[in-house]
Amino acid sequence: MTLSAAQIEGHGDHLYEALRGRTTIAPLTQRAPGITTVDAYHVSRRMLERRLADGERVIGKKIGVTSKAVQTMLDVHTPDFGWLTDAMRYGEGQDVPIGAQLIQPRAEAELAFVLGRDLRGPGVTPGDVLAATDHVRPCFEIVDSRIEAWKIRYQDTVADNASSGLFLVGAPASPHGVDFPACEVIVEKNGRPLSRGTGAEAMGSPLVCVAWLANQLGELGHALLAGEIVLSGSLVPLEPVVPGDWMRMHVPGVGGATVRFT
């Protein structure tokens, strides 16, 4: 670590205040040029602590920046992870209030894994992920950034809880029999075709993404726990959204989900 405990606390508090106030701040990589990835994860943890003090509860984790399309769009080329809380989750049929809660939202379609047993790295394989998965769900993650104009480098998005915002999940489906590298997601926006992608877009397979996360967490002394939901990473480019938009996704063999933004 290059930042002091007081600096980490300060940066985490600034991000938390930006989250609550729906404002943006200058990139941490400009404000603290020496910030390391380890520093950034500690900042993210401080931000989470503030949210937990408000009564939120951790229900899972998310993987970010897994697909080439998203890496190219953000000019960030290494996956990262963030924490999911109960206040971030929405279900099919619920409107997602981006106008009241988010700053500069972008939506992405992916698969969410719900675990039936713990996954603790190192050494977790894609096969281990499949065996530990209770069910999968089609998912829209609506990412957001507290960094002004999405001018992020890797440490910025890590510190900002992997640019997390809100997410909506559809109905559960069995993971068995799903060809995860080949499975295709088809996305519409406001009734028009928008994008397509396959599981191979995300590090070769969503199973590889979840295994990566389990092993990354293992290095930090954490695990993916039974009952947690894990967002495995976008299969399509990020799409800016505003109140009044709606999107639909469909994954043959898994199911679909529709999200309406208010």
The CATH number given to whatever domain includes residue 86 is: 3.90.850.10
Query: What SS3 state is found at 209?
Result: helix
Contact 83, 160 (CB under 8 A): no
46 located within any domain: no
pLDDT tens digit sequence for 13-22:
999 999 999 9
2 located within any domain: no
pLDDT tens digit sequence for 119-164:
999 999 999 999 999 999 999 999 999 999 999 999 999 999 999 9
24 located within any domain: no
In angstroms, the CA 138 to CA 64 distance is: 16
pTM of the predicted model as reported, rounded to 2 decimal places: 0.95
Q: Report the alpha-carbon angle 130-218-87, nearest 5.
A: 75
30 located within any domain: no
pLDDT tens digit sequence for 22-64:
999 999 999 999 999 999 999 999 999 999 999 999 999 999 8
32 located within any domain: no
75 by Cβ neighbours in 10 Å (0-12 / 13-18 / 19+) ranks as: exposed
What pLDDT does 20 receive?
A: 98
Domain that holds residue 80: 59-261
In this prediction, residue 220 has a pLDDT band, given cuts at 50, 70 and 90, of confident
Residue 91, both tokens: 């279900």
What pLDDT does 56 receive?
A: 98
186 located within any domain: yes
Q: How far is CA 32 from CA 3, 28, 36, 49, in A?
A: 8, 6, 9, 21
Buried b (16+ CB within 10 A) or exposed e, 13-51: ebbbebbeeeebbebbbeebeebeeebbbbbbebbbebb
35 located within any domain: no
163 by Cβ neighbours in 10 Å (0-12 / 13-18 / 19+) ranks as: buried
**Element (DSSP H or E) covering residue 155:** helix 154-159
Number of domains in the chain: 1
* pLDDT (average), residues 50-79: 84
